């Protein structure tokens, strides 16, 4: 179950690119990878790409658990992070919409789901340089993870 994570501190951005089967254990592994990153600080905005996901093994209880992980990643921050999910298929969009709804309840984050990647970047307010860096790093790391 390959994935790629990273942090662009200068853009106050963390990111994850998932592929293949999305499970709660995979999401937990990504969470650990991010919070152990040397540049991690609470409250970073978050870009989640579900573009390469082919199957989802999540139900409502598991998505609720993911909400708790996201909430813990923001503890100690003075601001609510913006979280955007790039979900280009009906399958990923439906699950992402459930996650978005849970995040927007109770001041966990400001979350939005888009089926268009450029809308994700615009909503986060990313510069062209930040987008280029994100795509280059994220997609290269994901490709490497898929071949390892």
Per-residue pLDDT tens for 40-54? 998 899 999 999 999
| 81-124 per-position pLDDT tens digit | 999 999 999 999 999 999 999 888 877 889 999 999 999 999 99
**Alpha helices, H only, 17-127:** 24-35, 60-74, 90-103, 117-124
Question: With the CA atoms of 37, 47, 21 and 65 taken in that order, what torsion angle do they form, in degrees rounded to the nearest 10?
Answer: 80
Task: Tell me the per-residue pLDDT of 25-74, one tens digit each, with 9 for 90 and over.
Answer: 999 999 899 999 999 998 899 999 999 999 999 998 998 888 888 888 88
Q: Looking at per-residue confidence, does 121 or 76 come out higher?
A: 121
Is the pLDDT at 139 greater than 90? The verdict is no
């Amino acid at each position: 179950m390959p994935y790629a994570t990273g942090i662009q501190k200068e853009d106050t951005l963390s990111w994850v690119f998932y592929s293949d089967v999305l499970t709660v254990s995979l999401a937990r592994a990504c969470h650990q990878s991010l919070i152990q990153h040397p540049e991690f600080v609470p409250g970073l905005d978050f870009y989640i790409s579900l573009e390469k996901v082919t199957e989802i093994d999540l139900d409502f209880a598991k998505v609720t658990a993911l909400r708790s992980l996201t909430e813990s990643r923001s503890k100690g921050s003075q601001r609510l992070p913006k979280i955007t999910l790039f979900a280009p298929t009906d399958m990923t969009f439906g699950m992402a919409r459930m996650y978005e709804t849970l995040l927007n309840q109770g001041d966990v984050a400001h979350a939005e789901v888009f089926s268009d990647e450029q809308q994700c970047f615009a909503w986060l307010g990313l510069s062209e340089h930040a987008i280029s860096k994100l795509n280059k790093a994220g997609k290269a790391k994901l490709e490497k993870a898929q071949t390892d």
